[in-house]
Chain A
C-alpha cells in the first residue's frame, strides 16, 4: 500500500496546473482579503491579519484536498485505471486510504505557504506553539475534505467532476465563513454554517489563534464527516467498477 501512496503523491508533482492553482490562489486571496479587511478590529484576541491567514490556509487546504481527488478519480474511471486496480490484489480500503492520505499531503504546502505570506506581508507573529498547533490541526483536518473529494470523484461523471467539485468547494468556503465572517450572513445561513465541515475546520485554527483550544464539537463533527464521506466513497468505488 505504501507504494501506491508514494505514487499517488508523486504523480501530483507532474501536474503543474494543479500546483499553481492550489498554491498560488490561496496566497493571492490572502493578500486580497487581508488588505480589504485591514481596518477590522481584532476579535477574541485574534487580529484580522491572523484571522484571514487561517481562513485562507483552510481555504487552500480544502481546495487542494478536493481538487487533488475528485477530478483525478473521475478521469481514472474514464481512462480505465480503476478497472486495472480492481484486477490486482489491492483492496477497496487500501485504494481509498492512499487517495485520502496523498490528498492530505498536498494540503500542507498550501497551509505553510499562506502562513509564510502572512509573516512576510503583514509581519504576523504568534507564539511558536500556536504555529505548530494551527498548522498541525489544519493538516489533520483536511482528511474529511480528501474523503469528500474521493466520494465526489466516484459519484460524478468524468466531464462534470471538475465543475461540480469546484462549485461545492466555493459553496463550502463562502458559507463556512472562510471569506466573510459568518456573522455577516443571514441568521438562517449562520445555522447551516455551523454544521459545515469547512466552518468547523477553520474553527480549529481560529480558536487556537484566540488562545483557546478547539472544542470537542469541532473535532467530533469533522470526524463524523470523515466517516460519512469515506463510507460513501467505499460504496461507490465497489459499485463504479461494475461495467454497467
Chain B
C-alpha cells in the first residue's frame, strides 16, 4: 500500500498544434480526495483520459497505482465516471450494473449498489430511456461496482439537481472514508471547496496551484472590508494600507485588501465612524479567477 494512487510526471499531450496538457506534474496519495479544478479547456478531461489509459501522453509519464494506466484498469482497480460515457441501449439499469459487477474481481452486492446510487426505483427501466441525472447515477453505480482502489469522476454532477448532488457527495465521502482514493474534475468552485481534501487548480494545461482549500484561499485570495459610506466620497480609500481595489455599490463600499487588519486599523484612525463594518475572509472565487487568468 505504499504506492501512490496517481503520478503525473511532467506530462504533455498534444492534439496537433493544441497543447491540451503542457507539463503537468502532480501526485495523489492513497486515500486522498482531490479535486482537479479549472475552467473549461484547462485540460481536466484530457488529464482524466490520460490517467484512465484512453490517451497516451505525448511526453512524460502517467502512473496509476504503481502501474501503467491501462494495466490498472485491466486489473479492475479503477472505477471511473466519464463525462461523455455512454450506456448500452436496449437493456435495463440493473442489467448494466450487473455487467459492471461481472467484470470486476471483487464486486459489491447489487442491492447495495442500487441503493447507494438511488436506482432501486428505476432498476428495470431501459438504459436508453433515462433522464440525464438518472444516467449519471447509473454510471456512478457502474464506477463503484467493483469497489475500486481509485475512483475517477469527470464532472460527475452536471445533470443532477441539488438533492441528487448532495446525496452523491455523501456517497463519495463514504467511499473516501473507507480508504478509496478519489479524484474528481470539476469547474464548480464550491464543489471542490466542500468535498476535497486538496485542490489542484489547472489552467492552460498545467498546474497553477496545488494545496488545501484554505491554503489556496490564503495564498491567492484577498480579504474584503465592507462598510456603509453613505454620502461621503471614496477619495483616499484606495490609499489605505493593503487596499488593492475599491468597489462602490449603492451606499456601501467594498475594499479588497491583502491585509485586512492594517486596513481596518487605518480606517478607524482616519474616520470617526465606520458604520456596518464587515470583514470577509478570502473567497475561493477571487483566488480562482486571479490564478487562472
A14–B99 touching, CB < 8 Å: no
B55–A84 touching, CB < 8 Å: no
In the bound complex, CA of A90 to CA of B75 (Å): 9
The residue from B75, B78, B89 contacting A87, defined by CB atoms under 8 A apart: B78
Considering the complex, give the chain B residue whose CB is closest to the CB of A77: B86
A89–B86 touching, CB < 8 Å: no
Cβ contacts B134-150/A at 8 Å (1 or 0 each)? 00000100100010000
Q: Is A160's CB within 8 Å of the partner chain B?
A: no
Contact A7:B52 (CB < 8 A) given known A87-B82, A90-B103, A91-B74: no
Cβ contacts A144-182/B at 8 Å (1 or 0 each)? 000000000000000000000000000000000000000
Q: Interface residues of A, CB < 8 Å — how many?
A: 28
Q: Is B76's CB within 8 Å of the partner chain A?
A: yes
Interface residues in B14-62 by Cβ distance below 8 A to A read 15, 49, 52-56
Interface residues in B92-134 by Cβ distance below 8 A to A read 95-96, 98-100, 102-105, 126
In the bound complex, CA of A88 to CA of B72 (Å): 10
Cβ contacts A1-27/B at 8 Å (1 or 0 each)? 011100100111111000000000000
Contact A11:B74 (CB < 8 A) given known A80-B84, A84-B82: no
The residue from A11, A79, A86, A91 contacting B91, defined by CB atoms under 8 A apart: A11
The residue from B54, B76, B91, B95 contacting A89, defined by CB atoms under 8 A apart: B76
Q: Interface residues of B, CB < 8 Å — how many?
A: 35
In the bound complex, CA of A79 to CA of B135 (Å): 13
Minimum Cβ distance to chain B for residue A73 (Å): 12
B54–A243 touching, CB < 8 Å: yes
Most buried by B among A79, A82, A87, A90: A87
Q: Between A and B, how many residue pairs show CB distances below 8 Å?
A: 89
Q: Is B279's CB within 8 Å of the partner chain A?
A: no
Q: Is A241's CB within 8 Å of the partner chain B?
A: yes
The residue from A15, A81, A90 contacting B88, defined by CB atoms under 8 A apart: A81
Interface residues in A192-244 by Cβ distance below 8 A to B read 241-244
In the bound complex, CA of A90 to CA of B55 (Å): 17
In the bound complex, CA of A243 to CA of B16 (Å): 13
A10–B54 touching, CB < 8 Å: no
Q: Is A48's CB within 8 Å of the partner chain B?
A: no
Contact A83:B85 (CB < 8 A) given known A10-B90, A14-B90, A14-B126: yes
B88–A83 touching, CB < 8 Å: no
Interface SS majority for chain A? helix
B99–A4 touching, CB < 8 Å: yes
A81–B76 touching, CB < 8 Å: no
Considering the complex, give the chain B residue whose CB is closest to the CB of A89: B76
B99–A7 touching, CB < 8 Å: yes
Interface SS majority for chain B? loop
Cβ contacts A121-154/B at 8 Å (1 or 0 each)? 0000000000000000000000000000000000
Considering the complex, give the chain B residue whose CB is closest to the CB of A94: B103
Q: Is B87's CB within 8 Å of the partner chain A?
A: yes
In the bound complex, CA of A14 to CA of B105 (Å): 30
In the bound complex, CA of A88 to CA of B139 (Å): 12
Contact A84:B54 (CB < 8 A) given known A3-B102, A14-B126, A89-B104: no
Contact A83:B54 (CB < 8 A) given known A88-B142, A89-B104, A89-B146: yes
A84–B85 touching, CB < 8 Å: yes
In the bound complex, CA of A236 to CA of B95 (Å): 27
Most buried by A among B88, B142, B146: B88
Q: Is B73's CB within 8 Å of the partner chain A?
A: yes
Minimum Cβ distance to chain A for residue B183 (Å): 13
Minimum Cβ distance to chain A for residue B71 (Å): 10
Residues of A within 8 A of B82 (CB): 80, 83-84, 87
Q: Is B207's CB within 8 Å of the partner chain A?
A: no
A242–B85 touching, CB < 8 Å: no
Given contacts A87-B78, A91-B74, 19 further A-B contacts (CB under 8 A): A2-B102, A4-B102, A11-B91, A14-B90, A15-B90, A80-B82, A80-B84, A80-B87, A83-B82, A84-B85, A84-B87, A84-B139, A86-B52, A86-B54, A86-B73, A87-B82, A88-B103, A89-B103, A243-B55
Chain A residues at the B interface, C-beta cutoff of 8 Å: 2-4, 7, 10-15, 75-76, 79-84, 86-91, 241-244
Interface pairs (23), CB distance under 8 Å? A3-B99, A3-B102, A3-B103, A4-B99, A4-B103, A7-B96, A11-B88, A14-B126, A75-B89, A80-B87, A81-B88, A82-B86, A86-B52, A86-B54, A86-B73, A87-B53, A87-B73, A87-B78, A88-B142, A89-B73, A89-B74, A89-B75, A91-B74
